[in-house]
Structure formats: C-alpha cells, structure tokens
Amino acid sequence: MEQITCDVAIIGAGIAGAGLAAALGKGPEVVLVEREAWPGYHSTGRSAAIFIQNYGNVVIRGLSRASAPLFKGADPGLFPKPLLTPRGILFVSDAAGLGAHEALIASADGLEQITPDAATAMVPLLRRDWIHAAAYEAEAMDIDVAALHQGWLKQARAAGARMVTDAALSRASRADGLWTLETSAARIVARTVVNAAGAWADEVAALCGARPVGLVPMRRSMAVLPLPAGFDSQAWPLVSDTGDGWYFKPEAGRLLVSPADEDPVAPQDAFVDDMVLAEGLHRYEQAVTMPVTRVERSWAGLRSFAPDRTPVVGYDPQQEGFFWLAGQGGYGIQTAPGLSALAAELLERRPPAAQPVRIIDALSPARFG
C-alpha cells in the first residue's frame, strides 16, 4: 500500500475540505482524503443552495456577512462566472405560523414586510386566502455550488494539494507528533488531521481518539415538480413557509419543492422517505392554487448539526494535532468562504482577520467541555 507524507491531511473533500485546502494555499503540504469515488458526493453535491442573510443563529449570520464579499470578489481565473445570481426570498405564513413570522421579522436585517396581495402578485401560484403575513428579502442570491467547489479544488491542486479518493478511514494513531492514517487506498502520515468529514465527523473523531461532539446528521429531501401550465416562474423568488413546513424554488422551468424535513439518520448515502415527502408536498399544496400531479424525480441529502446548531471549528482541546471543521448544518455553502478563511487562520495559528473572539469561542470544540 502506498504511503503518503504531508503536513495536513483533510478528511473529506466536500465544500468544507476543498475550501480549507484552497485557503491554505502553497504553505503546508496538503492531502485531501475522500471516502467516495469523487469529491462532493454527499451533502455538497445535493445542495440547492441560496445565500440568505436572515438564516441561522448569530454566529451563522456573522459568517455569512464575512462570506458575502468573498463570493462577490472571487478570482475570475478560478470562477469565470458569478458565484451569486439574484433570486430573492419570499417568506409567507398561514395563521399557525404567525409567531414564527413575527420572530423572524424581529431578528431580521434587510427584510421588508409586504402585504399578502403583494406576495401573490409576486408569485401567482400562491393562494391568497392561505397567506396571513409575508416578507421579502431582495438580497437573497442563488449560489453556484458546483462552480464554487470545483474552483476551490482547482485552486488547491494548483497549490500542490493531492487528492486520494476511495479512501475510507479505518484506523488512526499518533506517535512522536505524527498521525498515521490507515485508509482503503493509502497510508497517510501527517502532522495535523482536519476532520471535515460531514455526517461522518463524529465517527472520524472516535477513530482518532477524540471525543465526539454529538453531531446529528439530518435528512433533507427535495422533489422536482413540473411547473403548472399557465405560469411563468422566471422572475419568482424562492418561497419559504416561515413555519418551516416547506419551501420551493423555480429552476429551469420546474419547481424544486422540499418538505423542509430534518429527520435524524445515521451517516449514510441518504435516500428519500416517501411518506415524509408526501406529507411535505401535502403541506405545500395547501399554500398553492394547483395540486401536485407528478413528481419527476426526488433526492435527499444530509445536513449535520452540532447540539447548538453552530459549526465546530478549531483544534480539539484534548487530542493534539486534531482539528475540527464540521457541523455546518444547512449553512455550509453560504458560510463556506468566510469559514474556510477562518479555519485556515486557526489551523496555522494566525490572528483571525475578520472574526471577533466571541465568534471564534462560539465555534470552538472546547465549548462542549
């Protein structure tokens, strides 16, 4: 079996691992260790991401604010097309969701309350009698996830990073300041291990002798529906039930509809639960004027959350040379530029340029005791 020696072994080549490898640049020798045949197979490759500033807790919103200029100022040599394109998001609520809607308005920035009539004028598919409150965020943007991921992998390779695929981690040990990682493809010797393994991050931690932090992978499903006849969705925003019962997004003449499910599952190649999808589509049907007549296809992905729904980033407080970059939940794409830059600074023990101490402390794995 081949043995590879490096400074940093990053376990997982999804958006987290790729972003960190790109941010580290030409300094350390980096190896990306991917359990699948190609990077981004799980959560990254199944994300219909959108940049929403009013999404997540205070830490997430801070990371998103730091990410916005990095998205907009991305290197055109790596990203020849814009990574963000205008979309907008329309939040709508029925009577049962008014409490959640009021809470969103109270904590939001750049969110404009609009009338139910204005909401149905914006998206005529919505039922006017269902809507009791509405709000619109004009600055929400679609994210080109594939372009972001591939651009970072290209940047990492140009800096000398190596990729090893089909390399599930089976055993790890540390001696004399070095890690030895046994994988199905190679033996890797590294000074530092980065745990960017997504849904498998707690399993990787256990293999490396670190204490798991309680990450919970949660399934999120998506259905592709034909756009009902007579509607032009080209200018529609993403539409979200403020009570998190469903959301839909127009794309290429179809509708991507999600039941906004968050069902805890074991780390796996996620699949759709037909009953969960059917229940979610039923909730969606109550808010629109046309019934669901056909599902063209569906898929599911995993969003892994720490107990406080905040990412886990930083050196493990007990296991030397073990660095966490996990628990991004449903915010991993929109926070990726800011989080990748911060993770590179923390990994190399440089003073963080953009984030205050309170954010760094909130991300630290030491918060779990």
At 135-185, the pLDDT tens digits run: 999 999 999 999 999 999 999 999 999 999 999 999 999 999 999 999 999
> Where in the chain are all domains bearing CATH 3.50.50.60?
3-64+145-214+308-368
Extract the tokens encoding 252.
């290429």
Closest CA to 191 of 5, 7, 3: 7
Extract the tokens encoding 43.
């959560």
Question: Beta strand 238-241 with 89-93: parallel, antiparallel or unpaired?
Answer: parallel
Arch. (CATH architecture) of 89-138+216-305: 2-Layer Sandwich (3.30)
pLDDT at 45 over 60: no
For residue 348, the model assigns a pLDDT of 97
Closest CA to 154 of 317, 21, 350: 21
Alpha-carbon distances, residue 126 vs 23, 50, 72, 231, 233 (angstroms): 43, 21, 32, 11, 12
The pTM assigned to this predicted structure is 0.94
> Where in the chain are all domains bearing CATH 3.30.9.10?
89-138+216-305
Please tell me the CATH superfamily of domain 3-64+145-214+308-368, with its number. Answer: FAD/NAD(P)-binding domain (3.50.50.60)
Extract the tokens encoding 311.
């990412």
Q: What is the mean pLDDT of residues 200-219?
A: 97
Considering only the C-alpha atoms of the chain, give the largest distance between any 2 of them, rounded to a whole number of Å.
69
pLDDT in tens, 87-137: 999 999 999 999 999 999 998 888 999 999 999 999 999 999 999 999 999
pLDDT at 61 over 70: yes
For residue 55, the model assigns a pLDDT of 82
For residue 227, the model assigns a pLDDT of 96
Give the integer Cα–Cα distance in Å for 262 and 43.
Answer: 14
What is the band of 43 on the pLDDT scale with cuts at 50, 70, 90?
Answer: low
pLDDT mean across residues, the chain: 94
pLDDT at 70 over 90: no
Percent pLDDT > 70 in the chain is 99
What is the band of 37 on the pLDDT scale with cuts at 50, 70, 90?
Answer: confident
